[in-house]
Amino acid sequence: QDIEPFSMTFALRFAQYAYHSACFGKLHHMGPDQMQGWTRRFSGDMEVADAFIPGRVEAEFARYQREDGVGKWSNQKEIERAGIGDSWVNRFDRRAREAAQDYVLDHFCGSDHDRPTRHRPLLLKLSLLQPHYPYQIDAERFNYYLNRVPIYQEACCEHPRLSRTQMGPDVQATTRDIRRVTAAYYGMIDSMDDHYARLAASLAEVGEDLDEWIIVYTSDHGEMLGQHGIWEKTQFYEASVKVPLIISWPKGFAGGRRLSENVNLCDLFATLCDLCDIPMPAGTDSRSLAPLLRGSDQPWDNVTISQLGDDYMVKRDALKLIDFSGHAPAVLFDLERDPAEQNNYIDNTAYAGALSKLQEQLSSYRSLQRKSD
């Protein structure tokens, strides 16, 4: 992404403390600093975007234009073509997982030239594209999930095999269409599980005790899958903004627990540093989740903030404020009272006090942004 080269990242911080920081799969670093702190990287998306090419000759770029109709598929076409297939996404993930397995063998065994690097600790990241569109998966998984997946009721229409209903501004689909998309999506998640299981098996094969590993499983965003008539991401509904976050460390945590506190992916920076006894650099917004993971009774500020362009989400406890910076009316959801996010309580006087606190939190966040700029 477009951030300053050699910015402080959790990968760089761990590398500073003698870790081998190895990433396999998607990173989406499109600028001149392709590593962003990783000391080893294998990725099919390692490329510098046109905008970052120094001295690019605009007249030459203008000579080469795509033909009409070439580019990202529309949401309509994504739905129509969902089903059985082996897309570039699946191939990307296979290569990334295989490269990670090769690296594990070299790092812990190095048997070809007797050059293992296991004397230094390892930060290993496998980033998969799935379950990203195009929604395609192998026949076995697709057929397994096709008649098993739940679909959103608002996606259904009265005569699903004969008629199509409007599913958002750019999509018309039948119940069967939605079921096919959802089955492919489930199948891709199943495929992801298999990739991670294979990597874990490779670690065990070279003699690693997985109970000693801190393993984090998460995602950058969700998928609307037609809920609220929306496809892909780019919305602050729970289906898009709420992601899995599983942290496993059997020899570090006493038992397992499921937490409901509001946290943010940026909190992983401080959390990993805390768990690995690495000093956290100053000037970050990251909060360590270690006290929550260990069952500490110390107070937790149960708020999180997310931003997408000029759109903001502030969530405290079960209340979620979505602010569109004036280009659309603000929305207030009460997830405890209305988990399906169907009702906007922004004008409900019973929420005036809580709304004021959320707006104050957002204002404080924006002030910090202006100072950093």
Tens digits of residue pLDDT in 299-312: 999 999 999 888 99
For residue 159, what pLDDT band results from cuts at 50, 70 and 90?
Answer: very low
Query: Taking each helix axis from N to C terminus, what angle separates 139-146 and 175-205, rounded to the nearest 10 degrees?
Result: 130
| Size of the chain in residues | 373
Q: What is the pLDDT of residue 30?
A: 84
Q: What is the pLDDT of residue 208?
A: 97
What three-state secondary structure class fits 113? coil
Long-range contacts of 241-245 (CB under 8 A, 24+ apart): 241/306, 241/313, 243/218, 243/219, 244/217, 244/218, 244/219, 245/216, 245/217, 245/218
Q: What is the pLDDT of residue 229?
A: 83
- Taking residues 119-128, what's their average pLDDT? 96
Q: Which of 192, 95, 91, 188 is nearest to 136 (CA)?
A: 188
pLDDT of 319 > 60? The answer is yes
Tokens found for residue 45: 């998306």
Beta-carbon neighbour count of residue 329 at 10 Å? 11
Please name the residue that has the structure tokens 């109970």. Answer: 211
Give the separation between CA 223 and CA 370, rounded to whole angstroms.
31
Q: 29, exposed or middle or buried, with CB in 10 Å at 0-12, 13-18, 19+?
A: buried
Give the separation between CA 137 and CA 134, rounded to whole angstroms.
9
The percentage of residues in the chain with a pLDDT greater than 90, rounded to a whole number, is 69
Give the separation between CA 5 and CA 33, rounded to whole angstroms.
5
pLDDT of 246 > 90? The answer is yes
- Convert the pLDDT of each residue in 3-26 to its tens digit: 677 889 999 999 999 999 999 999
The model's pTM is 0.90
